[in-house]
Structure 1
Amino acid sequence: MSDAFTTRVQHVPTGSRERVVDLTRDCEAFLGEVAAGRDGLLNLFVPHATAGIAIIETGAGSDDDLLAALHTLLPADDRWQHRHGSPGHGRDHVLPAIVPPHATLPVLGGRLELGTWQSVCLVDTNRDNTERKVRMTFLAGGQS
């Protein structure tokens, strides 16, 4: 595999409750190993039908606010056609239409180019799955 394209799967324990998991340090560690000070793009992809990737502030309540907003938009009740799993699980299958299962972020000088309060987060409302996979892929920019 070319060093211009490097990919790895990160296993993320999410437990049996709804979670917003900050992946920023994991992304930075991955880039520290593979980017070698180069510019490029970091792509994250969650290969699950019931989880997504969000770029939000964490630690000041925004992660809990996001879960509360998702409860308002996607109540865990019996309105959903998709009915297997925990009660209201059908909403988990609608989540990726609102919180997409992917994000592509700029990397400059081997570092994520995030705003001051931005974090890269896994959003998982599915209480039935206790572990998620996140594929991190670094694509180095071409030489000029």
Structure 2
Amino acid sequence: MDMNELEDRYAIRELVEGWSDGANHRDWAALEALFTDDAVWDVGAPLSFQAQGARPIVALLREKMEVAEFVVQTPHAPRIWLDGNSARARTTIHEICRFRDGAGLEMRGTYYDELVRLASGWRFRRRVFRVTCFNAVAPAGQAFSEGQQLWPER
């Protein structure tokens, strides 16, 4: 593995992790920057929704998250296959969410990504999420909004 391949793999991991971080902290501008203008986001059953375009993808995510008190999504074990200026990645996701009405969910699944290298860096061209396990149970415990800040105050 040469340095260029290592740099590409690192940049793609940053992209994958950037999605989870942006969602966790509701950093809409950062999320929009992760996608190509014509990107597709396809989330399967039981959630079942789709959006096309960086701005509509983030608008849909924002709409879905309006009802959430908090969301914590963590990516695990990303696998990356490079092919010149395109790549594929597969990442396992664990997400917990509690809604403002007290309901919630815990979910595990897999993102199947198609990526492209632009002049500005690697971007998602297509993100397909398929649920492996879905549990409609709210996480217990006290929520602290400080954990969702973009950066803590000193």
Q: What TM-score do you get using the length of structure 1 for normalisation?
A: 0.27
Higher RCO, Cα 8 Å, sep 6+: 1
Q: Which has the higher helix share?
A: 2
